[in-house]
Amino acid sequence: MKHLISIEFKKALNKRFIIFSLALIFLPLIVILPIINGSYVFHRAIDVHAQLLSTSPIPLLFPLLLVPLYAGSYANEKKDNYLQYVRPRTIISKYVLAKGIVNAFLTFLVAFLMIFVPFLFIQYIDPMIGYIYYETEFFNPVSIGTFEVVAQNSVLLYGIVYSLWVGINGAIYMTIAYLLTICLKNKFVALSIPFLWWFIMNFVTAVLWIERFSPVFTVFPFSITAQPMWTIFIPFIVLILIIVTLIVYIKKTRKVWNE
Amino acid sequence: MSSMIKVKNRIISWKYLIAAIPIVLYALSNRQSMPFFEELHNVTANFWDYIFMSFSDVYLLLFYFFPLILFISTVYINRTFEYIELIRLGSYKKWIFTRLEQLFKIDIFFILMFLGSILLTSFNTSFSMEWSSVGIIDISGNEILYYLRHYFPKPFVALVLQIGLFLLTTITFQLMLCILYARFKKSSLLHLLNGLMYLYGSISFKVFPASMKLIVMPNYLSLFHGVASFDSIIMPFVIVLSVLLILIFIANNIDRDYRNSKNYLMKNLPVLGYGLLCLMGILFHISKHTNGGLSIWDGFIVTFMGTTNEIFTLISFAFYIVVFLGAVYFVQLRLQRYLSEMSYYTMIRYRSINKWFLSWFPGILKTITILLLTLLIGTISIAMLKGYSNTVPDNLFEIIYHFIVNGFLQLLFYVIFVIIISFATKDVFKSFITLLTLTVFMLPGFRLKNLMPIGLNSMGYVLEGYPVFLISIKLAVYIAAEIIVLLYLFNKKDYIV
């Protein structure tokens, strides 16, 4: 199993993956930060961080941005008849499990860094450079949403907890995408469903006036008034249930073994 | 043998008369308490008061009479089901309706029994064709007579309608039992359902707030309860009748083979979902501005507002993406199928990739036109139904032109764009990512002076007075460029799918 996982890591960490994840981590800082710097009034570093995220297309496209990392690997290997040659060499269910673990872990890591690196830059490095313009005269901090409670205790804790939260959500969405590529023959549909869920559920919750349970606003709670902490776990639990259902379905129909 | 079958199939038994005893006792206790009431409020009761006190009583109907009929019906359905009879009748549909006919006899028998027992207990009371003065008093405990007198001019009408409502509801539930039995053939299921119904009835009676009147059981059993909750005489009847019609429709189609239609449904599930989302969005926008004094065309503009440099709300942005990129998603699904099924045989059949393309592309253009017209007509009619005013604005032509022509060009741009990316990369998913990433240019601040051909058919432009013909020209130029790229792609010599 360890061997399988290390092979998967080697396969995953290619040039394309590294360029893409570096783009995800640093592009917001390079492109969005100059746009928002000066056009909004900032009091605290975390305000800048929140504004950076809500201005960038990340909340809009979150599950879509993470798909190119590794979620489609099973579908690609099936399409290229690679799996056929894996079968005699290892136990296929372990192989698929290793792939799922690597996919979840890498997605988690990239999503975590995507939030945490800008946070580190804005909170700790920028004060030394003094690039961002802060309003100091009228101190009137605005709430940054649901996670404000954590930020009141410790800013570093906020950075870590919030990045972890986004990372876990990213890993869960991509695990769903990965499991769907096993369940469905159509790769395009399988990989687009997490995004469709993300976007359509956001739309539906907005239309039904229950925006606080929207998938977008529970992961990126910046454009919504602060909600109690438990609300963010409702869509999360739904996602966990979806994962469990998919795993049970794959096991019951023996999808991996029969194809 | 024949006598045994007769016993087995006998519908009505004299044993059922025992069921009248609790009714008689209940009605007698009602009669006992009436003199106190008369004395206390200084009124005189007549025959009708005694009748309705028991006959419209929610407790008696909900906890005793209605469940009893359902229980006896269940036992009867279960006892008399035979495959021989089913063969003779020929279909489940006929079996259901034959059974229903017999159950109807049971209902009539029971209702007559009920009426008989309360007539018996109201014996020797003063009779008149008018309401007595008891119904004037509006206190808790006297709701039955108060509301019945309030809504119905004559007690006789109320009696007929009460019988009608109860009969209708009972028949509806019996039909449901028959359908379920025909489908599953398990009496335990029916008994379980009856039990749950009993529980649900009591919960809906005692716990549910008044706003949930639609699903409160007593509203359909007791006339006064239903009429008072809906504040309308017809509503309870209409609701039960519509449920009954739906069940009759189901019963009529119960013999069909559903595997095909299930496949058909599964295939069209995305289209259904898309239609539902569009409808939800339209309803949301339209009902948000009801009573705002807007005209139907204003409502239309608000619904398909989209985004411009000045106007941006998350919900209209989301709705724009759901409607227009949702439509493009179906093109992508088709492309995925074409690309995965494409082979040299396809090329041999169509002679060239250009001809192959022309074989399906016009269909997409037609679909886009139909979609836009449906959205236009649908939104306008919903706005009209919601009471928007009918005034015609000065720029009506501009509105329709912008929505239909620019909408068509914009969707055409998306579709060709998606086709180009999918063909160039041989991966439809990449076109999905690219197109959605381009929607970033719809966010405020990223518009780049409206140069990017994304979201240019937002109705916000009409509101801002932006020249709509300029948008058409821009889009046309972009589409021309796309067509050149597409032609180049299709006619490249080394192009192999």
DSSP B164-209: HHHHHHHHHHHHHHHHHHHHH--HHHHHHHHHHHHHHHHHHHHTS-
**pTM, two decimal places:** 0.69
Pairwise CB contact (< 8 Å): A192 & B429: yes
Of A60, A187, A202, the CB nearest to B429: A187
Q: How far is CA B43 from the centre of its chain?
A: 47
Pairwise CB contact (< 8 Å): A57 & B440: yes
Per the DSSP assignment, residues forming a β-bridge with B389 are: B295
Q: State the nearest Cα–Cα gap between B398 and chain A, in angstroms.
A: 29
Contacts of B286 in chain A (CB under 8 A): none
**Given phi > 0 = left and psi -120 to 50 = alpha, else beta, which region is B467?**
beta
User: What does DSSP assign to residue B73?
Assistant: H
Q: Is residue B434 part of a domain?
A: yes
Neighbouring C-beta atoms of residue B374, cutoff 10 Å: 12
Domain coverage including residue B116: 2-256
B296 in the same domain as B251: no
Q: What is the pLDDT of residue B375?
A: 92
Q: State the nearest Cα–Cα gap between B368 and chain A, in angstroms.
A: 21
Spatial separation of the C-alpha atoms in residues A192 and B85, rounded to whole Å: 53
Q: What is the pLDDT of residue B8?
A: 60
Q: State the nearest Cα–Cα gap between A157 and chain B, in angstroms.
A: 30
Of B322, B433, B436, the CB nearest to A203: B322
B115 in the same domain as B215: yes
Answer whether residue A54 shows pLDDT above 50.
yes
Residue A125 touches chain B, beta carbons under 8 Å: no
Q: State the nearest Cα–Cα gap between B264 and chain A, in angstroms.
A: 18
Contacts of B315 in chain A (CB under 8 A): 203, 206-207
B interface with A, Cβ–Cβ below 8 Å? 277, 280-281, 283-284, 314-315, 318-319, 321-322, 329, 332-333, 336, 428-429, 432-433, 436-437, 439-440, 443, 445
B91 in the same domain as B147: yes
For residues A161 and A147, the answer to whether their CB atoms sit within 8 Å is yes
Higher pLDDT, A167 or B261: A167
Contacts of A67 in chain B (CB under 8 A): 429, 433
Number of separate domains in chain B: 2
Contacts of A189 in chain B (CB under 8 A): 333, 336
Contacts of B280 in chain A (CB under 8 A): 204, 207
Contacts of B323 in chain A (CB under 8 A): none
Pairwise CB contact (< 8 Å): B277 & A204: yes
Q: What is the pLDDT of residue B186?
A: 87
Which residue, among A32, A29, A27, A19, has the nearest Cα to A118 in the 3D structure? A29
Of A64, A187, A202, the CB nearest to B318: A202
Contacts of A188 in chain B (CB under 8 A): 332-333, 336, 428-429, 432
List, for chain B, all residue ranges whose pLDDT scores fall below the cut of 50.
1, 497
Which residue, among B325, B431, B432, has the nearest Cα to A194 in the 3D structure? B432
Which residue, among A105, A125, A110, A108, has the nearest Cα to A49 in the 3D structure? A125
B448 in the same domain as B333: yes
Domain ranges of chain A: 2-258
Q: Evaluate whether ipTM surpasses 0.90.
A: no
**Per-residue pLDDT tens over the stretch B173-227:** 999 999 999 988 888 999 999 999 999 988 888 888 877 788 888 889 988 888 8
Residue in A with minimal Cα distance to B427:
A188
Pairwise CB contact (< 8 Å): B322 & A64: no
Q: What is the pLDDT of residue A259?
A: 62
Q: State the nearest Cα–Cα gap between B420 and chain A, in angstroms.
A: 16
Q: What is the pLDDT of residue A195?
A: 92
Contacts of A61 in chain B (CB under 8 A): 436-437
Q: What is the pLDDT of residue B1?
A: 47
To the nearest whole percent, how much of chain B has pLDDT over 70?
97
Pairwise CB contact (< 8 Å): B280 & A204: yes
- Pick from B203, B221, B256: which residue ends a domain? B256
Q: Is residue B175 part of a domain?
A: yes
SS3 of chain A: the string is CHHHHHHHHHHHCCHHHHHHHHHHHHHHHHHHHHHHCCCCCCCCHHHHHHHHHHHCCHHHHHHHHHHHHHCCHHHHHHHCCCHHHHCCCCCHHHHHHHHHHHHHHHHHHHHHHHHHHHHHHHHHHHHHHCCCCCCCCCCCCCCCCCCHHHHHHCHHHHHHHHHHHHHHHHHHHHHHHHHHHHHCCCHHHHHHHHHHHHHHHHHHHHHCCCHHHCHHHHHCCCCCCCCCHHHHHHHHHHHHHHHHHHHHHHHHHCHHHHC
B464 in the same domain as B443: yes
Q: Sign of the C-alpha dihedral, residues B479, B482, B488, B490?
A: negative
Q: State the nearest Cα–Cα gap between A20 and chain B, in angstroms.
A: 13
- Pick from B205, B222, B256: which residue ends a domain? B256
Q: What is the pLDDT of residue B472?
A: 93
Q: What is the pLDDT of residue A173?
A: 94
Pairwise CB contact (< 8 Å): A188 & B436: no
Of A191, A196, A206, the CB nearest to B315: A206
B290 in the same domain as B168: no
Of A72, A186, A195, the CB nearest to B336: A186
Q: Is residue B263 part of a domain?
A: no
**Per-residue pLDDT tens over the stretch B282-291:** 998 888 887 7
Pairwise CB contact (< 8 Å): B433 & A60: no
Task: Over range A4-30, report the average pLDDT.
Answer: 89
Test mutation, B271, B274, B286, B314, chain A, max A CBs within 10 A:
B314
Contacts of B321 in chain A (CB under 8 A): 199
B309 in the same domain as B166: no
Contacts of A35 in chain B (CB under 8 A): 445
Spatial separation of the C-alpha atoms in residues A249 and B312, rounded to whole Å: 42
B282 in the same domain as B185: no
Residue in B with minimal Cα distance to A190:
B429
N- to C-terminal Cα separation, chain A: 22
- Pick from B227, B256, B285: which residue ends a domain? B256
Q: What is the pLDDT of residue B164?
A: 93
Q: State the nearest Cα–Cα gap between B444 and chain A, in angstroms.
A: 9
B68 in the same domain as B208: yes
B246 in the same domain as B274: no
B400 in the same domain as B356: yes
Of B318, B321, B433, the CB nearest to A206: B318
Compute the count of residue pairs across chains A and B with CB atoms less than 8 Å apart: 59
Which residue, among B73, B61, B80, B67, has the nearest Cα to B103 in the 3D structure? B73
Put simply, the chain A residues between 174 and 233 with a CB less than 8 A from any chain B CB are 186-189, 191-192, 195-196, 199-200, 202-204, 206-207, 223
Helices (H) and strands (E) in chain B, counts: 23, 0
B273 in the same domain as B216: no
